[in-house]
Every structure is written in structure tokens, then in C-alpha cells.
Amino acid sequence: MSDQFQGIEPMVYQSQINVPYSWWAGDTATRFFVTLRDEKKITATKCGDCGKVLLPPRKICPRCFTENMEWVNVSDEGTLLTFAVARRPFAAIPADKKVPVIWGLIQLDGADTALLHYLDGVRPEEVSIGMRVRAVYAEARKGTIRDISHFKPVK
């Protein structure tokens, strides 16, 4: 510890800001989460102008700026585009996850964008870009992105 505070008495006020939030998902995201929770299906929206299939689903195509979107089902299998491994715990990692924690960006078959999620059931040294993975659904589903428990390698 340095001696930079020697001889002075700095007043420091410990505090925290309490701002509770209620973020409305909106009708589009709600439809995705209800389908995921009740039917264990992963859905996306396809732009009628450019044909891109967007996941998370969008009400508006960000490139074409149109609401000409239709719902499509995408596969719960896909390809790992890239990944990261956390070796040390930090606050953003949910309490039920133990390090090492692996995150992957997964492009599901039928989608043009990737989904961020956890990889599990695999050791970090076994993970490789391009590997095929499949969604494992949570037993108790509450309508959140963690209704997908994680992705695991396709054997």
C-alpha cells in the first residue's frame, strides 16, 4: 500500500444508487420468449426486402428500415463463430455458473446473425471455432434468454 494518504484525512462518502428498472420487451421480443418458453422453439424475423433472418428478432430491419418482417423458425443447431473463456469469477457471471465459463457466438442454421450464449458440457481446450453446437433448454422456463440453458457440442 502506498503512503499517498499519509498526513491527510480525505473525506470519502460510500454510497450506492438505487434505481429499479422495468424494461418492457415489447410485442416482438415477447413473442420470441413466449414461443421459447412454451414450445422450446427458437424463432427469428426475416426481412421481406433484404431476406436476412435476424436473431434477436427485430420489428424493423435495421438496414432496410422496413417493418416488412415475417416470423420464421430457425434450427436449435448451429455453428460456433467465436468464443471466450473466463478463468476468474466476476460479478457479471450468474451465481450458478462456475469458472471456467465459456461464451460462444452461435449462428443457428437458418439465421444470418449470431446469438450470444453459454457453452457447457465441454472443456475449454475442446472448444474450436467452426464446431457444431445444439441448444439445451432449461427445465424451468420463465420467458428469458436463459430458457436456453446453454449450447453443447453435437456429437
43 beta partners: 73
Residue from 2, 4, 6, 15 binding other proteins (CB under 8 A): 15
Nearer to other proteins, 28 or 79 (CB): 28
Smallest distance from other proteins to CB 35, Å: 17
CB atoms within 10 A of CB 23: 6
Name residue 42's amino acid. Answer: I
Nearer to other proteins, 5 or 130 (CB): 5
21 touches other proteins by CB under 8 A: yes
10 touches other proteins by CB under 8 A: no
What grid cell was written down for 113?
446473425
24 touches other proteins by CB under 8 A: yes
**Cα–Cα distances in Å, from 80 out to 12, 139, 147?**
47, 24, 19
**Cα–Cα distances in Å, from 67 out to 15, 80, 116, 128?**
44, 29, 24, 37
Name residues whose C-beta falls within 8 Å of residue 42's C-beta, 6 or more positions apart in sequence. Answer: 36, 55, 73, 74, 75, 76, 108, 135, 148
- Give the interface segment with other proteins, choosing from 17-25, 92-100, 124-132, 136-144 (CB under 8 A): 17-25
43 touches other proteins by CB under 8 A: no
Task: Tell me the per-residue interface mask from 59 to 88 with other proteins, x by CB under 8 A, - otherwise.
Answer: xx-xx-x-----------------------
Separation between Cα atoms, residue 79 and residue 128, nearest integer Å: 10
Task: Tell me the per-residue interface mask from 101 to 120 with other proteins, x by CB under 8 A, - otherwise.
Answer: --------------------
Nearer to other proteins, 48 or 100 (CB): 48
